[in-house]
Amino acid sequence: MRLVILDDYDLASEWAAKYIRNKIIEFQPSAERCFTLGLPTGSTPYGCYQKLIEYYRSGDMSFKYVTTFNMDEYVGLPRAHPESYHSYMWNNFFKHIDIDPANAHVLDGNAEDLEAECRAYEQKITEAGGIELFVGGIGPDGHIAFNEPGSSLVSRTRVKTLAKDTIVANARFFGNNLSKVPTMALTVGVGTVMDAKEVMILITGAHKAFALYKAIEEGVNHMWTVSAFQQHPCTNFVCDEDATLELRVKTVKYFKGLMHVHNKLVDPVLSIKDQ
């Protein structure tokens, strides 16, 4: 596990985008061997997506041979609804890059058989060779995707009822009208994300500070599902200074010290295009 601490949201977004860019370039994807990337939605990854669009437009990278799997989608919200995660991804990312639409996978919250849709999604991930890098964000209660507190840490893609705190947090996207916020979603499971070769979790803002504390300073706990990634062999938690407010000073100094040493040796952000 690695904690990467940047000064602010913009720098955290840039670090994450460069990490993704460099991983794709190093992989050397082709028509026969696509790079498979797991992606989140929400306000936290927005800056990262904007930087990736910049890298594509400047010719630094291509998404032609990248296959993506999104974490989740609301149940019952039309795909064309401005707050569906399908709309979010196309409006904020996919339509600005050269990804093949057939390679951009988002769960269908309007499928006739939701459980069959979830099983098929897991099968598609398997057929794609698994996820090389799964990027995620978290809620203030430490949930990743829609794996709410109390979720199984070995869960797979499934239908999930949303917690009241999540509905309240997402109301801002629905005119602060709680009655308009969907109460159910399809989500990849904690186990689904744990199967990825690498995981990168973006955590920014003071309102996520207690969740970051629970994620790395306390033990694995299904009430804070993000804590499961302490046990993943290759997890990067990427955060800004505000998100570290609940961490012990010793913890912050320890990880900043590791960053300093690592940057002198070989920083993935400074590799390939930046050297």
Torsion sign across C-alpha atoms 27, 154, 188, 55: negative
Sheet strands side by side (includes 72-74): 72-74, 184-187, 158-161
Residue tagged active-site, from 86, 105, 117, 143: 143
Query: Three-class SS string for 108-159?
Result: CCCCCCHHHHHHHHHHHHHHCCCCCEEEEEECCCCCECCECCCCCCCCCCEE
Long-range interactions of 265-268: CB distance < 8 A, separation 24+: 268/18, 268/19, 268/22, 268/23
Beta-bridged to residue 187, according to DSSP, are 72, 158
Interior/surface letters 79-90, b for 16+ CB within 10 angstroms, e for the rest? eeeebbbbbbbb
165 included as an active-site residue: no
CA 55 – CA 19 distance, rounded (Å): 12
- Strands 198-203 and 104-105, bridge-based pairing: unpaired
> Whose CA is closest to 269, among 53, 38, 21?
21
- Distance CA(16)–CA(52), nearest Å, equals 9
Q: Is 76 left (phi over 0), alpha (psi -120 to 50) or beta?
A: left
* Active-site residue (options: 73, 132, 148, 240): 148
CA distance 187 to 69: 11
148 belongs to the catalytic site = yes
**143 is a catalytic site residue:** yes
Q: What token pair was written down for 63?
A: 């998404």
141 noted as active-site residue: yes
Q: Which of 141, 195, 240, 242 is catalytic?
A: 141
Residues with a catalytic annotation lie at: 72, 141, 143, 148
